[in-house]
C-alpha cells in the first residue's frame, strides 16, 4: 500500500533526516527530470519550460532543469516571482513554482494546452486537503517524494495531479498517517474458504428494507451472497414479499422486530442493519435494541445511522459498550447527523475523530473513502468513481462488508476491502446507466480476478 503522510509530518521527517537537504533536493530534481523525459518520450529536440519558485520546490525544479540540459533537452527556467510577459514555447511545462509552502495569492501562468508536470503538488493545491486554489494547473503527472500526501487523493487532488508518481528519495517514514489500499493488500486480507466449511460458518443476518423500500433488503442480501456469505437471512420489517430465493426469508412485523432478530442472532457471524428501514420512532427503538444487544459484529448503514443519531444519550453512548466490532458507513450527511457537523476538508481527521469517540470502525464515504478504527492506521480507498453515486449502491456496500465480517476479516480491513471491491465492481460496469444491481453481478468476477492476480 502507498503510504500517505501529511505535509506537517513530512516536514518533521525532513527535519529529523540525516540526509542533507541539498542531497534530498538533488534526488528529487533528478526524479522529476526522469519523469519529464518519459513524458516527452525522449530528449532530442524537446523543449521544456520550468516555472521555478523561491523555495525548495523551485530548487527541485532547477535541479531538474540542469539534469534535462545534460541530457540534451532545451530548457528555459523562469522565475515564478518575476514572470516574463510572454512565456517561452515548450513541449512540457514543469510546475516547480510552489509546493507545500504555498500560501496563496500567486497565479499560475496560462500555459494553454501545453502539458504540465507538477513537482510534489500542482501549485495552489492544498497538500493537506486536496482543495485547489483558483489557478491550480491540471497536471498530467505529479512527482511527489517519499509518500503521497492527503491532497493527492482527496477533493480536487486526483483531477489536478494527473498520474501520481511517488519517488523514494531516501527518507525513512517513521509511520504513515494513512495507507492507500491496493489490490495486493486486499488479496492478502481475503481468507480462503476452509475445507470444512458449512453454511452457517459465514452466515450473515440482514435487517433492511420496508414497504416501498424493498430493494434495499434485496440489494444488501444479494451483495452479501455474492461477496462470499455462506448463508443470508433477511428481514424487511412489515414487508410481505419474497426474499431472493437463495436467502432465508425471515418475515418480521413492522414494529418491535428486534426480539425476532436477536432471538437466534448468535447463529450468525455478522449483522447488517439499516438500509431502507425508515426513520419512524418505533424503528429507531428496534435498531437501538439490536445495537445494544447484538452479540455479533455489525454494519450500521443508512437509517440505522439515523437511529444512532436520534438516541437521546448520543451515538457514542450506545456504541462504546459494544464488545464486538461495529462498522458505521456514513456519507457526509449521515456523519453530520451523528456528530452535529458535516466533515470538513480534513477527511482523515473527521473519520478518525468519529471512530475515537464511538470505538467503532468508521467508513466515511466519498470519492476517496476513509476507513478509521481506533488504534489502526486509517485506510483510504480510491477505487470507485462517480458512477457509484446512484441509489442503492450503499446497500450493496453494506452487504459486502457484512459478508467480509462474517468471513472473519477484522472490521478495519473488512470495511476497506468492501469499499475496494465495490470500487472495482463499478470499474467493470458500463460507462452510463449503471444501477446498484449491476455491482452485485460483477462481484464474483471481481473476487475471482483479485485472487487470481499475482503480486
Ligand atoms: N521530503 C520531501 O517531500 C521533500 C520536499 N522537497 C520540496 O520542498 C517543497 C517544500 O519546500 P518549501 O521551501 O517549504 O516550500 P515552497 O517551495 O512551496 O515555497 C516556500 C517559499 O515560497 C514563498 N511563498 C509561498 N507562497 C507564496 C506566494 N503566494 N507568493 C510569493 N511567495 C510565496 C514562501 O515565503 C517561501 O519562501 C516540497 O513541496 C517539495 O517540492 C524538497 O525537495 C526536500 C524533500
Binding-site residues, in ranges, read 216, 276, 331, 365-369, 394-395
Instruction: Using the atom order of ligand 1, give the atom closest to the CA of residue 98.
Output: 18
Instruction: Using the atom order of ligand 1, give the atom closest to the CA of residue 28.
Output: 43
168 in the same domain as 312: no
**Total domains present in the chain:** 2
Cα dihedral 162, 168, 171, 176 sign: positive
Q: Which residues contact 435 (CB under 8 A, 6 or more apart)?
A: 390, 391, 392
Binding-site residues for (6S)-NADPHX, in ranges, read 216, 276, 331, 395
Q: What's the gap in Å between 364 CA and the centre of ligand 1? A: 31
171 in the same domain as 223: no
Q: What's the gap in Å between 71 CA and the centre of ligand 1? A: 26
168 in the same domain as 238: no
Q: What's the gap in Å between 381 CA and the centre of ligand 1? A: 28
Cell (9 digits) for 300: 450500521
195 in the same domain as 169: no
Low-confidence residues in the chain, pLDDT < 70: 454-455
Contact criterion met (CB below 8 Å) for 439 and 422 = yes
Mark which of 146, 175, 204 sits at the end of a domain. 175
Q: Measuring CA to CA, which residue among 129, 154, 148 is closest to residue 366?
A: 154
Which residue, judged by its Cα, is nearest atom 4 of ligand 1? Answer: 145
Q: Can you give the pLDDT at residue 104?
A: 83
Contact criterion met (CB below 8 Å) for 73 and 43 = yes
58 DSSP 8-state letter: H
Cα 222 to its chain centre, rounded Å, is: 23
211 in the same domain as 107: no
135 in the same domain as 274: no
118 in the same domain as 74: yes
**Strand pairing partners for 76?**
49
Maximum Cα interatomic distance, the chain, rounded to a whole number of Å? 78
Alpha carbon distance 447, 228 (integer Å): 9
Output the ligand 1 site: residues, CB below 6 A.
10, 14, 24-25, 28, 53-58, 60, 98-106, 119-120, 145-146, 171
Contact criterion met (CB below 8 Å) for 372 and 364 = yes
Q: What's the gap in Å between 159 CA and the centre of ligand 1? A: 22
Q: Which of 61, 99, 105, 167 to mutate for ligand 1's pocket (most ligand atoms within 8 Å of CB)?
A: 99
Binding-site residues for AMP, in ranges, read 365-369, 394
417 in the same domain as 365: yes
Q: Can you give the pLDDT at residue 454?
A: 60
CATH number, domain containing residue 235: 3.40.1190.20
CATH number, domain containing residue 36: 3.40.50.10260
Q: Which of 101, 117, 147, 152 to mutate for ligand 1's pocket (most ligand atoms within 8 Å of CB)?
A: 101
Q: Which of 19, 33, 100, 133 to mutate for ligand 1's pocket (most ligand atoms within 8 Å of CB)?
A: 100
The upper half-sphere exposure of residue 230, i.e. CA atoms within 13 Å in the direction of its Cβ, equals 19
Torsion angle, alpha carbons of 132, 136, 141, 143, to 10 = -80
Burial of 292 (0-12, 13-18, 19+ CB in 10 A): middle
Q: What's the gap in Å between 437 CA and the centre of ligand 1? A: 47
Mark which of 175, 191, 224 sits at the end of a domain. 175
439 in the same domain as 368: yes
196 in the same domain as 59: no
Q: Measuring CA to CA, which residue among 173, 171, 167 is closest to residue 33?
A: 167
Q: Which residues contact 174 (CB under 8 A, 6 or more apart)?
A: 13
Domain that holds residue 118: 2-175
Strand ordering across the sheet containing 369-372: 2-4, 178-180, 379-381, 369-372, 361-364, 326-328, 298-300, 270-273, 203-207, 231-235, 248-249
Q: Which of 7, 26, 54, 79 to mutate for ligand 1's pocket (most ligand atoms within 8 Å of CB)?
A: 54
Mark which of 149, 175, 201 sits at the end of a domain. 175
226 in the same domain as 125: no
Q: What's the gap in Å between 102 CA and the centre of ligand 1? A: 6
46 DSSP 8-state letter: -
pTM for the full predicted model: 0.94
Q: Can you give the pLDDT at residue 312?
A: 80
Q: What's the gap in Å between 17 CA and the centre of ligand 1? A: 18
126 in the same domain as 14: yes
Q: Please give the helix or strand (H or E) that residue 122 lies within, else none.
A: none
CA angle centred on 379, ends 5 and 223, rounded to 5°: 160
**Strand pairing partners for 179?**
3, 379
Residue 286 CB neighbour total at 10 angstroms: 25
- One-character DSSP codes across 220-280: HHHHHHHTT-SEEEEE-TT--SPPPTTSEE----SSSTHHHHHHTGGGSSEEEE-TT----
Amino acid at each position: 500500500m502507498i503510504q500517505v503522510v501529511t505535509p506537517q509530518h513530512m516536514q518533521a521527517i525532513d527535519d529529523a533526516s540525516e540526509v542533507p537537504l541539498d542531497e534530498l533536493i538533488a534526488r528529487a530534481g533528478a526524479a522529476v527530470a526522469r519523469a519529464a523525459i518519459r513524458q516527452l518520450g525522449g530528449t532530442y529536440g524537446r523543449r521544456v519550460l520550468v516555472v521555478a519558485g523561491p523555495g525548495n520546490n523551485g530548487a527541485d525544479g532547477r535541479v531538474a532543469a540542469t539534469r534535462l540540459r545534460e541530457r540534451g533537452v532545451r530548457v528555459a527556467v523562469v522565475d515564478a516571482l518575476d514572470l516574463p510577459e510572454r512565456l517561452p514555447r515548450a513541449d512540457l511545462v514543469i510546475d516547480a513554482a510552489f509546493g507545500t509552502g504555498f500560501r496563496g495569492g500567486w497565479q499560475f501562468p496560462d500555459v494553454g494546452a501545453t502539458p504540465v508536470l507538477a513537482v510534489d503538488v500542482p501549485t495552489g493545491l492544498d497538500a493537506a486537503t486536496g482543495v485547489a486554489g483558483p489557478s491550480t494547473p491540471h497536471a498530467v503527472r505529479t512527482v511527489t517524494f517519499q509518500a503521497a500526501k492527503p491532497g493527492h487523493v482527496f477533493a480536487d487532488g486526483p483531477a489536478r495531479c494527473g498520474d501520481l508518481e511517488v519517488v523514494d528519495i531516501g527518507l525513512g517514514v517513521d509511520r504513515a498517517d494513512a495507507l492507500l489500499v491496493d489490490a495486493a493488500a486486499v488479496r492478502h486480507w481475503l481468507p480462503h474458504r476452509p475445507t470444512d466449511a458449512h453454511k452457517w460458518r459465514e452466515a450473515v443476518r440482514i435487517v433492511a428494507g420496508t414497504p416501498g423500500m424493498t430493494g434495499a433488503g434485496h440489494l444488501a442480501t444479494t451483495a452479501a451472497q455474492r461477496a462470499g456469505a455462506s448463508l443470508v437471512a433477511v428481514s424487511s420489517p412489515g414487508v410481505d414479499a419474497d426474499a431472493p430465493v437463495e436467502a432465508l426469508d425471515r418475515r418480521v412485523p413492522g414494529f418491535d422486530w428486534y426480539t425476532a432478530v436477536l432471538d437466534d442472532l448468535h447463529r450468525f457471524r455478522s449483522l447488517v442493519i439499516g438500509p431502507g428501514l425508515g426513520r419512524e420512532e418505533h424503528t429507531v427503538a428496534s435498531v437501538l435494541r439490536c445495537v445494544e444487544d447484538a452479540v455479533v459484529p455489525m454494519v450500521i448503514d443508512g437509517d440505522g445511522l439515523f437511529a444512532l443519531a436520534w438516541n437521546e444519550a448520543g451515538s457514542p453512548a450506545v456504541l462504546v459498550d459494544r464488545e464486538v466490532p461495529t462498522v458505521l458507513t456514513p456519507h457526509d450527511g449521515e456523519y453530520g447527523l451523528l456528530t452535529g457537523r458535516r466533515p470538513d476538508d480534513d477527511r482523515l481527521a473527521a473519520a478518525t475523530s468519529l471512530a475515537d469517540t464511538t470505538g467503532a470502525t468508521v467508513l466515511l464515504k466519498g470519492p476517496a473513502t476513509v476507513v478509521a478504527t481506533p488504534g489502526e492506521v486509517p485506510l483510504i480507498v480510491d477505487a470507485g468513481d462517480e458512477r457509484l453515486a446512484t441509489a442503492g449502491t450503499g446497500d450493496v456496500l453494506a452487504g459486502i462488508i457484512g459478508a467480509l465480517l462474517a468471513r472473519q476479516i477484522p472490521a478495519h480491513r473488512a470495511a476497506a476491502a468492501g469499499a475496494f471491491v465495490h470500487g472495482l465492481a463499478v470499474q467493470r460496469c458500463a460507462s452510463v446507466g449503471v444501477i446498484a444491481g449491476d455491482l452485485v453481478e460483477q462481484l464474483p468476477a471481481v473476487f475471482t480476478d483479485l485472487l487470481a492476480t499475482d503480486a
